[in-house]
Amino acid sequence: MRTQVGIVGAGPAGLMLSHLLHLAGIDSIIVESRSRAYCEGRIRAGLIEQWVIDLLIDSGVGERLRREGMFHDGIYLCFDRALHHLDFRNLVGKQVAIYGQQEIVKDLIARRLGDGGRILFEVEDTSIHDIASTNPRIRFRQGDKAHEIECDFIGGCDGFHGVCRDTIPGDKRATFERDYPFGWLGILSESPPPADELVYTYHERGFALYTMRSPTVSRLYLQCAPDEDIANWPDARIWEELHTRIAGTKPLQEGRILQKGVTPMRSFVCEPMQYGRLFLAGDSSHIVPPTGAKGMNLAFADVRVLSRAFEAFYRSGKDDLLEAYSRTCLKRVWKAQRFSWWMTQMLHRYNLENDFDMRRQLAELDYVASSVAASTALAENYAGLPMP
């Protein structure tokens, strides 16, 4: 097989890259180790920034988002047993939307296949080769048949555990990492969300987040230990903790728990995001803790920059945008890292031996809720910094 851009991974980054390239008349093939059903069912991020809403609509894959997305003007901060609303529309003139990653993935897969795109699901033993040459290759197996795709470029969109990042020689990349002494226990519940917008809660027992997937399905998270055993959390304990942390500021309705799991939290960056003809995008090169809701948004930002660079290359033969890819992306990546770390350290309980941090966090929350300057800074980052 031969294509212009070989893409590893059919998550939001790989699919959007392939879609944007197609709109620019550039051919691509996606290889994915999981099944289509797995990719479309995986419950992950849910919040998109204003410019991502615009990107989905403007690129022709926003029809269902328009109908089913939940458009929010802001968020609530809950601390000291009171709710404080931050109005992004007033502060920065932007909205955000709740529209699950799996819905975006479904829309993009349907559109790619409808446009005649090639997505190869359930491939095995994927490896990439010759990335320092002008003819990189993707090799994989399907059943007992070995295959090879010859490409001009490779998009490494295969997530944190994918194979692409590790093919960059160790002495040609650096990694920056931070672990947190807590994780999130997340549930999906058949019950209406407690508020019309997201509630980020700081409580002496720990952080909680009340978000949603639809008017009748809530997505609820509790700060827990990073290695928490889900077996220690029967449904009744989860609900009790969720009630305690929202502290009566909104009525919390219980429902059937459809899914439960623990997510560890980390901050991670691999630099540079490119080597030879391999370009990393999304989780393959950076991970943020979920508190800032930046993960999927960053993946889209990477592929927006990358698709424009490929377009310039194929149109005029110029590779200056491709050369600048990593530098361009990392500016946004590090700002998102800073914001995600900042939200995380402000909202989680740690240093339990000493209440200094708790007093400091409450002061910071009060400052953010009461100062126009501070709430504007949060709103500007949360609703999405301008795209280059």
By CB under 6 A, the count of residues binding ligand PHB is 10
Tell me the per-residue interface mask from 185 to 204 with ligand PHB, x by CB under 6 A, - otherwise: -------------x------
Options 12, 19, 22, 72, the catalytic residue: 72
Closer CB to ligand PHB, 91 or 322, in the complex = 91
- Cα atoms in the Cβ-side hemisphere of radius 13 Å centred on 107: 21
| 157 makes contact with ligand PHB (CB under 6 A) | no
Based on the residue annotation, tell me whether 136 is a catalytic residue of this protein: no
Give the range of 41-49, 80-88, 316-324, 331-339 binding ligand PHB by CB under 6 A.
Answer: 41-49
Give the range of 44-52, 84-92, 108-116, 124-132 binding ligand PHB by CB under 6 A.
Answer: 44-52
Based on the residue annotation, tell me whether 251 is a catalytic residue of this protein: no
| 47 makes contact with ligand PHB (CB under 6 A) | yes
Query: CA–CA separation, 361 vs 191, rounded Å?
Result: 31
Q: Identify the residue among 219, 245, 304, 348 touching ligand PHB (CB under 6 A).
A: 219
**Quick one: tokens of 141?**
């197996």
**Interaction residues for ligand PHB, span 82-141 (CB under 6 A):** 98
Best CA proximity match to 241, nearest among 274, 207, 285, 192:
207
SS3 assignment, position 129: strand
**Quick one: tokens of 254?**
């219980």
Residue 38: what are its φ and ψ, rounded to 5°? -65, -45
Query: CA–CA separation, 57 vs 186, rounded Å?
Result: 29
β-bridge partners, 138: 128, 149
Best CA proximity match to 260, nearest among 226, 220, 309:
220
In the 8-state DSSP scheme, what is residue 2?
Answer: B
Based on the residue annotation, tell me whether 200 is a catalytic residue of this protein: yes
Q: Identify the residue among 10, 187, 293, 336 touching ligand PHB (CB under 6 A).
A: 293
Give the range of 9-17, 23-31, 77-85, 287-295 binding ligand PHB by CB under 6 A.
Answer: 287-295
Task: Provide the annotated active-site residues.
Answer: 72, 200, 290, 294, 382
